[in-house]
């Protein structure tokens, strides 16, 4: 039945088809190629697709373009963002707004996740545990810094000399030596 359908899809072009059917998937794919019907249409551009999976892949390209576009622009400085929520967070650096308030002390934060990290100070929770020693940390970034003490990894490299550092703050301090800038 598939071969008959495949030949029917070619119409008068049967002799031009260079695809002898080898598998069910190949026959289906080649039959679809010759059909003019493209049922899956992109709502963002004129592209049309024979398969929903191709439309989904295509839509990802629109998302990637949107991210690189950075169409959400700050009205108070030259910064731009891919998402409105990022712009909203950024705007708080200008306004000083800190809507996330700690229930246990007067601290307030511009972002909810900063409040969550702060709350660990009150609870003593340290969910990020070192696999090589008993140390534990409230923040994953602190664990990453600590782990470098075990591995001797130094990912922050000076562009002016061969020095490398485990923490970015050490590199910043080192760079002042090259520039003569005082701390």
How do residues 117-129 score in pLDDT, each as one tens digit? Answer: 999 999 999 999 9
DSSP 22-70: -SHHHHHHHHHHH-----EE-SSSS-EESSHHHHHHHHHHHHHHHHHH-
Give domain 72-123's CATH superfamily: Classic Zinc Finger (3.30.160.60)
Bridge partners for 80 per DSSP: 73
Q: How many CB atoms lie within 10 A of CB 99?
A: 11
Confidence of residue 13 (pLDDT cuts 50, 70, 90): very low
* CATH architecture type of domain 37-68: 2-Layer Sandwich (3.30)
Single pTM value for the model: 0.47
Query: Which regions of the chain carry the CATH code 3.30.160.60?
Result: 72-123, 128-179
Report CA dihedral (75, 96, 124, 165) to the nearest 10 degrees.
60
Identify the CATH class of 128-179: alpha beta
């Amino acid at each position: 039945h598939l071969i008959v359908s495949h030949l029917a899809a070619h119409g008068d072009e049967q002799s031009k088809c260079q695809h002898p059917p080898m598998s069910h998937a190949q026959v289906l794919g080649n039959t679809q190629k010759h059909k003019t019907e493209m049922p899956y249409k992109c709502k963002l551009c004129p592209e049309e697709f024979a398969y929903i999976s191709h439309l989904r892949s295509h839509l990802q390209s629109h998302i990637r373009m949107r991210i690189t576009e950075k169409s959400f622009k700050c009205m108070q400085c030259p910064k731009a963002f891919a998402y409105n929520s990022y712009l909203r967070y950024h705007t708080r650096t200008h306004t000083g707004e800190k809507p996330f308030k700690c229930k246990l002390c007067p601290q307030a934060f511009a972002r909810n996740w900063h409040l969550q990290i702060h709350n660990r100070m009150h609870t003593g929770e340290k969910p990020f545990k070192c696999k090589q020693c008993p140390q534990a940390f409230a923040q994953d970034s602190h664990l990453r810094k600590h782990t470098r003490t075990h591995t001797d990894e130094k990912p922050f490299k000076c562009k002016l000399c061969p020095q490398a550092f485990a923490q970015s703050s050490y590199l910043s301090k080192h760079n002042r030596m090259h520039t003569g800038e005082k701390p």
